[in-house]
Amino acid sequence: MTEKPTLNIVLVEPRIPQNTGNVARTCACTACRLHLVGPMGFAIDDKKLKHAGLDYWHFLDITYYEGLSDFFAKNNGPFYYFTTKAPRRYTDVAYPDGAYLVFGREDAGLPEALLAQNQDSCIRMPMREGCRSLNLSNSVAVGVYEVLRQWDFPELLDHGHLRDYEWK
């Protein structure tokens, strides 16, 4: 039996606890590893963070870093940088096992110097001209499910059950 591939989600300097809580819940439900890179705009015990993640915290594989240099010193990639400034779409990439999907802070995105140094790894989600960006937690969910779709949703349930009825 082959081992389930690993998908890593990286939030760089998140500012809004509800977004981070929603991302944590997405990671918990999809068995993705979550990496939080500081400084963050809230305390990790923030009530809004915990509320957004509800009762899924025990499912999380989460690692904290002081900053980007700490993160890069401890992780090897491959890294895929989600940014509205990228030249190619997130669906044009075949994501390997161990991929890191990297997302920037809600108000500023990822540092442009980092993007410029890694142009081939910068990807974007298409959207209407004049729109600034999608919500961070929504962007993460779209990215996660694209990778998992490519991997045929390993070890995830692909069916549900009705509470009061049976599917035919």
Where helices occur in the chain by DSSP H, the ranges are 17-30, 47-53, 68-74, 112-117, 136-150
31 CB contacts (<8 Å, ≥6 apart)? 4, 7, 59, 155, 156
Contact 65, 36 (CB under 8 A): yes
Signed CA dihedral, 149, 100, 136, 113: sign only? negative
Q: According to the annotation, is 21 in a ligand binding site?
A: no
Per the annotation, does 125 bind a ligand?
Answer: yes
- Enter the tokens of residue 82: 């989600």
Residue 133, marked binder = yes
Give the residue numbers of the binding site for S-adenosyl-L-methionine: 104, 125, 133
Give the residue numbers of the binding site: 104, 125, 133
